[in-house]
Amino acid sequence: MSTKTRFVLLAAFVTLLAGGLLVIRPWLAGAGRTTMTASTATYTVRLFTDGPREGANTFDFEITARDGTPAHLDEVTLQPVMPQMGHAYPPVTAARTAPGRYRAKDTMLAMTGYWRINVTLRRANDAQQAAFTLLAK
């Protein structure tokens, strides 16, 4: 086997290994503290949760303006959606716990699987959305 062939095979193996890790990683995300970040046109939203798991979950959010200062919002809601099963639950209003920090307690995820958490940020006449995909175990 030539050196060039060995190099090509090694590169293919490394590529497959890296791709496999990207596929496996979401299954590993169901345990321990989960932290995710998403951006809207105006805000950066960080989601924190333990789990996530089937049943009641608590979701914490840190929301900042693009300059890093805490966001001043009129309302933050989240809506759990499970697209593959056609489930969508009514939005849950998150309570403000500190400047730029919000918490939604007892948010139900009815079954295990992938859930999209749609977060709506409202201020005056503006509404923006961020979305997070989580695996509930």
pLDDT in tens, 92-137: 999 999 999 999 999 999 999 999 999 999 999 999 999 999 999 9
pLDDT in tens, 54-92: 999 999 999 999 999 999 999 999 999 999 998 899 999
pTM: 0.74
Token duo for residue 107: 């948010």
Q: How far apart are CA 60 and CA 57, in angstroms?
A: 10
Mean pLDDT computed over every residue of the chain: 86
Task: Compute the average pLDDT of residues 6-31.
Answer: 51
| C-alpha pair distances (Å), 134 with each of 20, 95, 99, 124 | 19, 21, 26, 30
Closest C-alpha among 40, 58, 52 to residue 120: 40
Amino acid at 75: E
Cα four-point dihedral sign 21, 25, 28, 32: positive
Task: Compute the average pLDDT of residues 44-55.
Answer: 94
User: What pLDDT does residue 11 have?
Assistant: 55
Helices and strands per DSSP (H, E), number in the chain: 1, 10
For the chain, percent of residues with pLDDT exceeding 70: 80
Phi, psi of 99 (to 5 degrees): -55, 120
User: What pLDDT does residue 31 have?
Assistant: 52
